[in-house]
Amino acid sequence: KAGVTQTPRYLIKTRGQQVTLSCSPISGHRSVSWYQQTPGQGLQFLFEYFSETQRNKGNFPGRFSGRQFSNSRSEMNVSTLELGDSALYLCASSLMASGREQFFGPGTRLTVL
Amino acid sequence: GESVGLHLPTLSVQEGDNSIINCAYSNSASDYFIWYKQESGKGPQFIIDIRSNMDKRQGQRVTVLLNKTVKHLSLQIAATQPGDSAVYFCAETKAGTALIFGKGTTLSVSS
**Predicted confidence (pLDDT) at residue B46 exceeds the cutoff of 50:** yes
Question: In angstroms, what CA-CA distances link B14 with A26, A50, A69, B38, B74?
Answer: 36, 43, 47, 19, 19
CA–CA dist B10, B82 (Å, integer) = 15
B63 — contact with chain A (CB < 8 Å)? no
Q: Could you read off the pLDDT of B57-103 as tens digits, one per residue?
A: 999 999 999 999 999 999 999 999 999 999 999 999 998 889 999 98
- Return the residue of B nearest to A47 by Cα: B98
CA–CA dist A75, B37 (Å, integer) = 25
| Averaged pLDDT for residues A60-79 | 98
Nearest by CB to residue B103, choosing from A42, A97, A105, is A42
B97 — contact with chain A (CB < 8 Å)? yes
Task: Tell if the CB–CB gap between A45 and B99 is shorter than 8 Å.
Answer: yes
- Work out the percent of chain A whose per-residue pLDDT is above 70: 100
Task: Tell if the CB–CB gap between A106 and B102 is shorter than 8 Å.
Answer: no
**Distance of residue A79 Cα from the nearest chain B Cα, in angstroms:** 24
Residue B4 pLDDT: 58
| Contact in structure between A11 and A20 (CB atoms under 8 Å) | no
